[in-house]
Structure formats: structure tokens, C-alpha cells
Structure 1
Amino acid sequence: MLTLRDGAQIYWETTGNPAGTPLLWLHGGPGTGLLSGGYKRAPDPKSWLIVGLDQRACGRSRPLANEPGFDLSTLQTPALIADLEELRQHLGIERWLVAGGSWGTTLAMAYGQAHPERVTGFVLTAVTDGSRGYVEWISESVERVFPEAWEAYEAASGRAPGQRLLDAYVERLTDPNPRVRDAAAMAWCTWEDAHMSIPHRVAPDLASRDPQFREVYALQVAYSWANNAFLGEQGILDNIHRICHLPAVLIHGRLDISGPVGTARRLHRQWPGSQLVIVEHEGHGGPDMGAALRQAYTDLLPIVCAS
């Protein structure tokens, strides 16, 4: 555990070659934690020093976001970026390749934009950009694809007329009544399972996890989305110029409903140093995405070693 500047603690771990090329993996959510540690399987452990962490207030990090009196403002993206810098300094790493999946791609790019001199490149899977357009798609417009699941999700929010769905969920997920919080978290996770289900090769099963996981996860995601990930209207695109000189591989499933492939294409068009890999038969994850991830690490290794 690393004790941070404000007393919070984050869990971190390393694997691979202690003398290898540093690689930081950022999990999704926000709020999933590292889960089973599958992120370690893709990079060659003989070539890379692989660093993973449970981001602030989730997984094995403490305190958790659903604990009484927790200050949600400490989950704003600039604070998470500062956490990564504290970890880098703690480990004595000068520069590292930054990789991530889903929300982890947004955090990876935001970190790189804040500290481009500390990044050798990016490997980004199931790309998201934190923009208002992305948030509106995933929280409202995707109703057009899953109308039945969305209706249940919307009904469970208890939102008042004119209230944004995300704001209603943040209210319910911070309600003093644990039954209200648990019901909201279950509804949220059931909805997430639905829109991540295509093409049925990946089963997130968020709703089947323990109540504490569901509550921490749902609260962190709802709070982040309700505030456009604290990155402004355009999200990552506003400052893409700060990292577009760095090499990157963007990996995205053609069938990804959770984050349409157009997001990755827009980033690629504005990022001369990037390579876009579209995996035709995958959605928000899957075995073919894993194969593309392994290849990306192999392809970038000589490039980042030479930088």
C-alpha cells in the first residue's frame, strides 16, 4: 500500500522483470479495481516491469468510496492523475508506457496530457474519451439499442421531472439508507451488464458481485460520468496535442456498444503517432482483443526502448 498526500492508501503491485521496460496498467470503471489480475497475461514478463494499482477508493485501496463521510471530490480526475505521479515517484520510475482498458484509456490519456515527459507511449483498449457526447451516449442515447434494459435502469433512478439520470443515480448511491443504495447499485450494474453483453463473448457479471463492489463501482462511475470525467465538454480531445507526438496503439471492437468505434477513430485522426486496430467481431472486450493487446505490446517494445 502507498499512503498518499491526503492520507488515502492505494494498493499497487508489480510483476514481470524488475529490470524490464516499465509499463503501467490502468483498470476500467472507474471503480472496478484490478479484479483477477488478467492484465498481467498480455505483456511479455521477461521484457516488461508491469505495474498495476487499484485506483483510489476501490478494490483493495482505502478508504472505499461508499464509506460514511467519504469526500467524493477526491475522486476527480486531477486527483487520480496526482496519485499516479506519486506512485511513479515512489517506485523510482523515470518514464513508463501507459496502458488501460475502457475508463483506463481516458485516465491514461489524461495522465499523459498532464505529464507527457513521463510517458513513452500508450496501449489503449476499448477507447473512451470522457466527452459529453460519450457520456450522453452511454447514459441516455444507448436506449435505442437496449430499450427494455434502459427502461428498468431509468425507472430505478427515481429521477424527478427534468433531472438528469446521472444526477439522480448519484443521489441514490449516496442516500443514507443502505437499502436505497443497494437497489440503485444493483440496477446500475444490471444495466452495465446489458450494454456490455454484445457479442456475448464477454460476460462482465457486475450484478452478481458482492454488494460492496456494486456500490463502490456504481457510485464512482455515476459520479465521474455526471461530471464528464472532469475533463470538459470535449474530454480528451481538448488537449490531444500534448500527447500526439507519442506512439500509441488504439484497439477497439467493431461491435462495442458501450463505446462506439467512432470515438477511437476520432482520436486516431488527430493523433499522427497512433495506430488504430479495429477488431471486427468483438465488443467491449474478448479474446481477439486480448490477442491484439499482446501484439501491441510486442510492436511498441522496441520503439519505447529506443525513445
Structure 2
Amino acid sequence: MDKSSSQNRAYQHLYPLIDPFDQKMLNVGDGHRIYVEQCGNPQGVPVVVLHGGPGGGCSPTMRRYFDPAVYRIILFDQRGCGRSRPHASVTANTTWHLVRDIETIRERLDIDRWIVFGGSWGATLALAYAETHPDRAAFLALRGVFLMTRSELDWFYGGGAGHFWPDLWADFLSLLPEAERGDPIAGYNRRLFSGDLTTEIRFGRAWAAWENALASINSDGRGGESPPEYARAFSRLENHYFINGGFFEADGQLLDNIGLLRNTPAAVVQGRYDMICPPRAAYDLASAMPMARLHMVTRAGHALSEPGISAELVRVMDGLRDDLGALGLATHA
């Protein structure tokens, strides 16, 4: 199946594309301004969407997972990526800066509690936010769970996934001198932050291509060539977070602190054949949360655009419409 056919199947499950009713650049301090938009029902149930990466940015398609008559849909580009400025900057850019930004958005929009929706790195950030502000997260909708543990990074950047894709893994390593191939995160870090724009773009595209090629279960092994500025920002931000262990104090911190979310309902949507974020993390997370339900999608990989993933996420959000009262949330037409 080609990529366009797979995407068309994914999009048939989604709501029609809508335009924002509100867009702004929000000054969050530290020299950063972030792009924020609102779509759907201005009086609806608020849901904040956390994009992946780090550094992926939000897209118009992300608005389409929610009934626009029911939900007030809030999307934003995290520091350093998308339409946020300064572009590709890692200064004052950590998990905890982003958690603070989410709270700033909530306060500026005068929202008491909201649904937090995130996939991949967005799931990591959703958990970090909810554990910091458990009284503000009414429900977690998580996809392609990534807990930012050493074992997960070793899987994807230490050769684990490379056992399934040895040709692409060899290509990814080939840009580095042999002496640096044992730690590609560090090797790429030196080039992504070299100060030479041509080098940063070259290595940024290679970093992004390795991840993109493994995102879909229907991958033909070609990750595509990302636009240069996108690839540079995405790869610099992702590498910055990974080389710093997500800025967590301890490996496995999110699971260690999961008791803070014992009363938080959640849906965990996971592709059975996710090559980027293997299902073990989703299983461990759902097992540790008394009010979580694991939705294992049988024939799906990692990407948000996977047809089975998209359909299940829409089902989760549509299913919440009958439980909004129990969550302490309400909507107004």
C-alpha cells in the first residue's frame, strides 16, 4: 500500500477540516513566543493537544480528531518549533519549561480543567504535566506511549530497531566516524549544534529520515526528505531532549510518580507493531494506572496517521461525550 492510500484511509475517520476561531502568539518568557490556536466550540469542553517530537509542531489535521460541536480544541507549537519563535532554539527549552507553558495557556484561556491529548513525545509531556498538575488534567488520551527511559532510547538509537531495519540503520550511522557510532545521539549532537548551517541541515535530515522511515507499519523504508528548516528544528530539539534524558531527575521518573494519577481516567492507544515506541511502555503505563484502559491496535505502527490509530482515537474522544458529566466537564452549544 502506498503512503497516500494509507493516509486517505486514516483521514476518512476524521472530522472535516476546520479553521481556528482564535490564533495568537503568546509570550511565555525566556525570549520565547509560542503559537496558540483554538478551534471548534468556544463554549465546549477544552482539550489541549500536545504534539510529538520534541520539535514536531502541530498541524491542521490534529484539529480533526474531535467533534467540533462538543470540544474547544487548543493546539500550540512547543518552544523552538512550528510557528513558535525563536526557531530551532534550545535555550530555556526543557520539559519543565513546556509544562509551565501549558499552565500559562490554561490560565490565559481561563480554563479550570481540561482533557490532555498527546502522542509519542506528546504522551511523555502529557504525563509530566498531569503529574505536576493532577488537579487540572480531567482525562488523558495518550497514543504511542514514550516514557523517556534509557531503555527506550537504547532501543531506537542503540541498535534495537536496527535489527529490523539493518539497511536504514547502517545509513543512519554512516554519516558518523566509526569511533562515534557506539553513541549516535552524542555523535549527531556535535553536528546538529556545530554552528554550520549546512552541516546542521544535512544531519537534521538524516536524523528525521531514520524516524520517519519507521513510523508506519506500511513503510517501504523511505523516510522522505523533510524541508530543511523543519528537519533542523525537529532534529535539534529531539536530540537536545534525548541527550539530556528528557530533563528528568531519574530514569523511569514518570512511572515512579504514576501514583499521583491514580484517580485520573485515561485511554492509552498503542500500535501493536510500533517500531519507534514499542508497546511495553504503553502496557506498563496502563497497568500502573487504575483508571486507564489500554487500546492495542492490532495492525498499526507508530504514526498518528495510521488508519487503525486514527479510528481508535476518534472513537475514544467520541465515547467521552457520554461521560463528560462524570469527568466534571460540560459543553454548551
Q: State the TM-score, normalizing by the size of structure 2.
A: 0.85
1:23-50 per-position Cα deviation (integer Å, ceiling 9, x unaligned): 0001111111113x11111111111101
Matched pairs, number: 299
For residues 222 and 134 of structure 2, what CA distance do their matches in structure 1 show?
A: 32
Task: Indicate which of 303, 306, 309 corresponds to 1:289.
Answer: 309
Report the secondary structure of 1:149's partner residue.
Answer: helix
Matches within 5 A, 1:1-307: 1-35=25-59, 37-65=60-88, 70=89, 72-140=90-158, 141-158=160-177, 160-161=179-180, 164-200=183-219, 205=223, 207-231=224-248, 232-285=250-303, 286-306=306-326, 307=328
Q: 1: distance between equivalents of 2:226 and 2:263?
A: 41
The one-letter code sitting in structure 2 at the alignment partner of 1:208 is E
* SS class of match (1:44): coil
Question: What does the per-residue CA deviation read over 1:140-173, in whole Å, with 9 as the maximum and x for residues that have no partner?
Answer: 1211111111111112234745862111111110
Residue pair 1:77, 1:107 contacting (<8 A) in 2 also: yes
* Distance in 1 (alpha carbons) for counterparts of 2:260 and 2:202: 42
- Contact 2:217–2:299 (CA under 8 A) maintained in structure 1: no
What amino acid is the match of 2:230? Answer: F
1:226 is displaced (CA, Å) by 1.5
Unmatched tracts of structure 1, length 5 or more = none
Residues 248-267 of structure 1, C-alpha deviations (whole Å, 9 max, x = no match): 00000111111111111011
- 5+ residue gaps in structure 2? 1-24, 329-333
Identity in percent: 33
Contact 1:99-1:123 within 8 A present in 2 as well: yes
- SS of the equivalent of 1:59 reads coil
Q: 1:279 to 1:289 in 2, by over 3 A?
A: same
Q: Which has the higher helix share?
A: 1
Distance of 2:257 and 2:275 partners within structure 1: 25
- TM-score, normalising length from structure 1? 0.92
Aligned amino acid, residue 149 of structure 1: L
SS in 1 for 2:47: strand
Q: Which amino acid aligns with 2:317?
A: Y
1:117-144 CA-to-partner distances (Å, cap 9, x unmatched) read 1110110111111111111111112111
Over the residues paired in the alignment, what is the CA RMSD in angstroms?
Answer: 1.8
Contact 1:121 1:304 survives alignment (8 Å)? no
Secondary structure (helix, strand or coil) at the match of 2:56 reads: coil
Deviation at 1:78, TM superposition (A): 0.6
Distance apart, 1:235 and its partner CA: 4.0
